[in-house]
Structure 1
Amino acid sequence: MAKPKHVPPNGWDRFSIVAEIHRQSMTLGELASRAGITIKTFSQVWTRANRKAETAIADFLVMKPAELWPERYPIRTTRILSSTNGTRLERRKADRSADSNCDLADREAA
Structure 2
Amino acid sequence: MSVVIRPKKTAPVNWHRADIIAALHKNGWSMRGLSVANGLSEHTLKTAMTSPYPKAEKIIAAAIGVEAEAIWPERYAKRNFTPVLTLVTNFPRTLATEMQLDAPTSN
Q: Which has the higher helix share?
A: 1
**What residue in structure 1 maps to residue 98 of structure 2?**
none
- The answer (yes or no) to whether the contact 2:27–2:63 under 8 Å persists in 1 is no
Q: 5 Å matches for 1:10-21?
A: 12-21=15-24
TM-score (norm 1): 0.55
The alignment of Structure 1 onto Structure 2 pairs a total of residues equal to 70
Shift of 1:25: 1.9
| Counterpart secondary structure, 1:39 | coil
- Residue 62 of structure 1 and its aligned partner are, at CA, apart by 1.2
Per the alignment, do residues 55 and 39 of structure 1 end up closer, same or farther by CA in structure 2, a change over 3 Å counting?
same
CA contact (8 A) 2:32 2:42 kept: yes
Percent identical residues: 29
* TM-score, normalisation: structure 2: 0.56
Deviation, 1:20, is 1.2
One-letter amino acid of the structure 1 residue matched with residue 61 of structure 2: A
Offset, 1:77: 7.1
Q: Structure 1: which 5+ residue stretches go unaligned?
A: 1-9, 80-110
Counterparts of 1:52 and 1:11, CA distance in 2: 17
Residue 39 (structure 1) shift: 2.4
Root-mean-square deviation (CA), in Å?
Answer: 2.2
Q: Is the CA contact 1:32–1:42 (under 8 Å) kept in the aligned structure 2? A: yes
Partner of 2:44: 41
| Counterparts in 2 of 1:11 and 1:40: CA distance versus 1, 3 Å | closer
User: What are the ranges of 5 or more consecutive residues in structure 2 without an aligned counterpart?
Assistant: 1-12, 84-107
